[in-house]
Structure 1
Amino acid sequence: MQEATLDIQIKILPTSPGVYQYYDKDDTLLYVGKAKNLKKRVSSYFTKNHDNYKTKVLVKKIHTIKHIVVETETDALLLENNLIKKYLPRFNVMLKDDKTYPWICIKKERFSRIFLTRNLIKDGSEYYGPYTSVKTVHVLLDLIKELYQLRTCTYDLSQEKINNGKYKVCLEYHLGNCKGPCEGLQDEKEYLENLEAIRQIVKGNFKDSLNRFKNQMMIHAEKMEFEDAQRIKEKIQILENYQARSTVVNPKISNVDVFSIISDESYGYINFLQLSYGAIIRSHTTEVKKKLDESDKELLELAIIELRQRFNSTSKEIFVPFNVEVGEGLKITIPQLGDKKKIVDLSLRNAKYHRQERFKQIKIMDPDRHTKRLMAQMKKDLRLPEEPRHIECFDNSNIQGTNPVAACVVFKNGKPSKKEYRKFNIKTVEGANDFASMEEVVYRRYKRLTEEQQPLPQLVIVDGGKGQLSSGLKALDKLGLRGKITIIGIAKRLEEIYYPGDSIPLYLDKKSESLKIIQHLRNEAHRFGITFHRQKRSKAALDTELDLIPGIGEKTVIELLKTFRSVKRISEASKRELSEVIGDSRATKVYNYYLSKKE
Structure 2
Amino acid sequence: MSASHPEELLAQVAALPPLPGVYRYFDAQDTLLYVGKARNLKKRVSSYFTKQHGGTRIGHMVGRIARLETTVVRSEAEALLLENNLIKSLQPRYNILFRDDKSYPYLKITGVAQKDGTGDAPGQRFPRIAYYRGGTDKRHRYFGPYPGAWAVKESIQLLQKVFRLRTCEDTVFANRTRPCLLYQIKRCTAPCVGLISTEDYAGDVASAEALLRGETQELLQLLEQRMLAHSQRLEFEQAAEVRNQITALSRVLHQQAIETVSDKDVDILAVRVQGGRACVNLAMVRGGRHLGDRAYFPVHVEEAAGVWHAEDGPEGEPGSGPAHDVAAQVLEAFLAQHYLAVPVPPTLIVSEPVRPELVQALSQQAGVRITAVHQPREQRRAWLEMAQQNAELQLARLLTEEGSQQARTRALAEVLDLDTENLDQITIECFDISHTAGEATQASCVVFHHHRMQNSEYRRFKIEGITPGDDYAAMRQVLTRRYTPVAEAQREAGGAELPNRRARLPEVVLIDGGKGQVGVAREVFAELGLDIARIVGVEKGEGRKVGLEELVFADGRPKLFLGRDSAALMLVAQIRDEAHRFAITGMRAARARVRVGGSRLEEIPGVGPKRRARLLQRFGGVRGVQEASVQDLMTVEGISQTLAEEIYRALR
On the 8 A contact 2:110/2:128 being kept in 1, the answer is yes
* Correspondent of 2:358 among 314, 326, 331: 326
CA distance in structure 2 between the partners assigned to 1:101 and 1:255 by the alignment:
15
Verify: 1:87 aligned to 2:118, yes or no: no
Structure 1 11/213 Cα, relative in aligned 2: closer, same or farther at 3 Å? same
Q: Is the 8 A contact 2:48 2:62 kept in 1?
A: yes
Structure 2 residue 236 is matched with structure 1 residue 205: no
Deviates more, 1:215-224 or 1:135-144: 215-224
Cα shift at 1:65? 1.4
Q: Which amino acid aligns with 2:373?
A: T
After superposition, the C-alpha distances for 1:357-376 in whole angstroms (9 at most, x for unaligned) are 32344456566899xxxxxx
Paired with 2:257 and 2:84, the residues of 1 have a C-alpha distance of 31
1:359 to 381, 384, 399: 399
Q: Retained in 2: the 8 A contact 1:320–1:344?
A: yes
1:71 aligns with 2:74: yes
1:314 Cα offset (Å):
3.5
Q: Where in structure 2 are the equivalents of 1:89-488 lying within 5 Å?
A: 89-109=92-112, 110=124, 111-120=126-135, 122=137, 124-155=139-170, 168-171=177-180, 175=184, 177-182=187-192, 186-219=196-229, 231-246=241-256, 251-276=261-286, 278-289=288-299, 290=301, 291-293=303-305, 294=308, 295-315=326-346, 318-324=349-355, 325-328=357-360, 329=363, 330-335=370-375, 338-362=378-402
Indicate how the Cα distance of structure 1 residues 81 and 131 shifts in structure 2: closer, same or farther if over 3 A, else same: same
Alpha-carbon distance change, 23 to 141 in structure 1, aligned in 2, over 3 angstroms: same
Distance verdict in 2 for CA 1:364–1:278, change over 3 Å:
same
Deviation at 1:251, TM superposition (A): 0.8
C-alpha contact (below 8 Å) 2:136/2:142 kept by paired residues: no
Sort the Cα spacing of 1:126 and 1:9 in 2 relative to 1 into closer, same or farther, 3 A. farther
C-alpha spacing 1:174/1:202, structure 2 compared with 1 (3 Å): closer
Alpha carbons of structure 1 residues 194 and 69: separation in structure 2 relative to 1, 3 Å: farther
Aligned counterparts of 1:167 and 1:259: Cα–Cα separation in 2: 46
Deviation at 1:204, TM superposition (A): 3.6
Q: Distance in 1 between matches of 2:169 and 2:298?
A: 42
**Runs of 4+, deviation exceeding 6 Å:** 223-227, 367-370
CA distance in 1, matches of 2:195, 2:280: 50
Structure 1 residues 72 and 280, CA, compared in 2 at 3 Å: closer, same or farther? farther
Render the CA deviation track for 1:173-197: whole Å, top value 9, x for unaligned.
8636544545666444443433333
Structure-2 residue corresponding to 1:373? none
Shift of 1:354: 2.0
Following the alignment from structure 1 to structure 2, what is the Cα–Cα distance between the partners of residues 269 and 174?
A: 44
CA distance in 1, matches of 2:78, 2:25: 19
Q: 1:237 to 1:55 in 2, by over 3 A?
A: farther
Give distance in 1, aligned partners of 2:12 and 2:25.
11
1:250 positional shift: 6.9
CA drift of 1:318 comes to 4.8
Q: Is the 8 A contact 1:271 1:285 kept in 2?
A: yes
Change (3 A) 1:320 1:126: same
After TM superposition, give the deviation of residue 169 of structure 1 in Å.
Answer: 4.9
How far 1:262 sits from its partner (Å)?
A: 1.8
Distance 1:139 1:327 in 2: 32
Shift of 1:8: 1.9
Pairwise CA distance, 1:88: 1.9
**Rg comparison, structure with higher value:** 1
Q: Map of 1:488-567 to 2, 5 A cutoff? A: none
Q: Secondary structure at the match of 1:65?
A: strand
CA distance in 1, matches of 2:53, 2:257: 45
Q: Within 1, Cα distance between the matches of 2:187 and 2:26?
A: 61
The answer on whether the counterparts of 1:258 and 1:343 sit within 8 Å (CA) in structure 2 is yes
Q: Which runs of 5+ in 1 are unaligned?
A: 371-599
Q: CA deviation at 1:157?
A: 12
Give CA-to-partner distance per residue, 1:20-52, whole Å, 9 cap, x none. 111223333222122233223323333344477
- Structure 1 residues 228 and 130, CA gap change in structure 2 (3 angstroms): same
Question: What is the rounded CA distance, in whole Å, between the counterparts of 2:226 and 2:105 in structure 1?
Answer: 33
Which gives a bigger RCO, structure 1 or 2 (Cα 8 Å, sep 6+)?
Answer: 2
Q: Is the 8 A contact 2:213 2:264 kept in 1?
A: no
The one-letter code matched in structure 1 to 2:395 is: R
Shift of 1:136: 1.5
Structure 2 gap segments, 5+ residues each:
113-123, 309-325, 364-369, 411-652
- Return the alpha-carbon distance in structure 1 between the equivalents of residues 207 and 140 of structure 2: 17
Instruction: Quote the Cα distance in structure 2 between the aligned partners of 1:72 and 1:38.
Output: 12
Question: What's the CA shift string for 1:523-570, capped at 9, x where partnerless?
Answer: xxxxxxxxxxxxxxxxxxxxxxxxxxxxxxxxxxxxxxxxxxxxxxxx
1:316 CA displacement: 5.3
Distance 1:277 1:101, change over 3 A: closer
- Shift of the 188–272 alpha-carbon distance from structure 1 to 2, 3 Å rule, reads same
The size of the alignment, in residue pairs, is 365
Structure 1 CA distance for aligned equivalents of residues 208 and 260 of structure 2: 22
SS state of the match for residue 297, structure 2?
Answer: strand
Amino acid at match of 1:33: G
Match of 2:42 in 1: 39
C-alpha separation in 1, matches of 2:67 and 2:134: 40
1:206–1:366 Cα change, 3 Å: farther
Deviates more, 1:53-62 or 1:228-237: 228-237
How far the C-alpha of 1:144 sits from its partner, in A, is 0.8
Q: Which residue of the partner structure matches residue 24 of structure 1?
A: 27
Does the Cα contact within 8 Å between 2:267 and 2:345 map onto a contact in 1?
A: no
Aligned CA distance change for structure 1 residues 71 and 105 (closer, same or farther; 3 Å)? same
The structural deviation recorded for 1:61 is: 1.9
Counterpart secondary structure, 2:205: helix
Quote the offset at 1:142 in angstroms. Answer: 0.6
Instruction: Note the C-alpha offset of 1:140.
Output: 0.6
Equivalent AA in structure 2 for residue 359 of structure 1:
L
- For residues 245 and 173 of structure 1, what CA distance do their matches in structure 2 show? 22
AA matched with 1:104: L
3-state SS, counterpart of residue 338 of structure 2 = helix
Deviation track 1:325-379 (CA, whole Å, cap 9, x = no partner) reads 4142333333265554444333322322222232344456566899xxxxxxxxx
Could you tell which deviates more after superposition, 333-342 or 18-27? 333-342
Q: 1:250 to 1:355 in 2, by over 3 A?
A: farther
Matched AA of 2:203: E
Q: Is the 8 A contact 1:16 1:36 kept in 2?
A: yes
Partners of 1:277 and 1:128 in 2: CA distance: 9
Q: Structure 1 residues 345 and 354 mapped into 2: Cα distance closer, same or farther (>3 Å)?
A: same
Q: Is the 8 A contact 2:24 2:70 kept in 1?
A: yes
Q: Secondary structure at the match of 2:79?
A: helix
What is the Cα deviation at residue 108 of structure 1?
4.3
SS at structure 1 position matched to 2:339: helix
- TM-score, L = length of structure 2: 0.49
Q: 1:252 to 1:171 in 2, by over 3 A?
A: closer
